[in-house]
Amino acid sequence: MPSHEPPPSKDQEVQRTFNKITDYYDRMNRLMTLGRHAAWCRDVAASANVPSGGSMLDIATGTGVIALAALENYPDSSIHAVDFSERMLTEAARKPGASAITWQYADANDLPFGDGSFDAVTHGYLLRNVDDVERVLEEQYRVLKPGGRVVILETCPPRGPLRHPVTLGVRVVIPLLGQLVARDRESYAYLQESTLGFMTPKEVVAILRRVGFTSVAWKKKFFGTHMIISARKQ
């Protein structure tokens, strides 16, 4: 008889993908960004402006690159890092210095923290992988203290004169690297599509403002394929 089970949701598919690619995640990020990924994560952490003795939440922490960079910047602060891939959390918790960070399984759609819990929220490559960007940003607004900052690292579709050659490069290079390095062309084909199919900076900024954030600023990176956006809760 045919199965009547509903197809997996986007969240379930994304969770499955990231559990599959954990062992190659850091290496692939270095290759796909020509070694710039770690520098962007340090930029995100530095932009969080966590006060002395404050607290920061890194969502979709993956292997913990942003969270560990934040620990270096704010050694006397409390750093929480959450993800819904348990394999990613396990990998992150093995890294040098990781014992000083609180690692926790959590869903970005329903964060297990009270209102006004953190001075800053950061995340890398979260929004392109969720069903409802506005809901996820509303949750971040909720858990931030008044005056707290959110700093976002994301991919964005290239624009301008380099749009077509960069798009072609992304379509070819990311799945090819996935095949050669991770032996997983399928997962990296998904990541290629989510990179090119995500919102522009202006679209993300519009949602941030609709949610209630102010002082929104953004800058593009890497031929316009990445962006760092910051905003403040009133």
Q: Please give the tally of structural domains in the chain.
A: 1
Instruction: Evaluate whether residue 114 is within a structural domain.
Output: yes
Across 185-191, average pLDDT: 78
43 is in an annotated binding site: no
Q: What six digits make up the tokens of 172?
A: 């070819």
Q: What six digits make up the tokens of 35?
A: 């070694």
CATH of the domain at 86: 3.40.50.150
46 is in an annotated binding site: no
Instruction: Evaluate whether residue 31 is within a structural domain.
Output: no
Instruction: Evaluate whether residue 228 is within a structural domain.
Output: yes
Domain that holds residue 116: 10-22+36-157+199-233
φ/ψ of 181, rounded to 5, equals: -95, -45
Across 198-221, average pLDDT: 96
Across 26-41, average pLDDT: 93
Instruction: Evaluate whether residue 181 is within a structural domain.
Output: no
Angstrom distance (rounded) from CA 194 to CA 13: 13
Closest CA relative to residue 37, chosen from 61, 15, 59, 65: 65
Instruction: Evaluate whether residue 193 is within a structural domain.
Output: no
107 is in an annotated binding site: yes
Angstrom distance (rounded) from CA 27 to CA 45: 20
Instruction: Evaluate whether residue 189 is within a structural domain.
Output: no
The pLDDT assigned to 157 comes to 85
Per-residue pLDDT reduced to its tens digit, 68-115: 999 999 999 999 999 999 999 999 999 999 999 999 999 999 999 999
Instruction: Evaluate whether residue 91 is within a structural domain.
Output: yes
The pLDDT assigned to 191 comes to 75
Rounded to two decimals, the pTM is 0.90
102 is in an annotated binding site: no
Instruction: Evaluate whether residue 145 is within a structural domain.
Output: yes
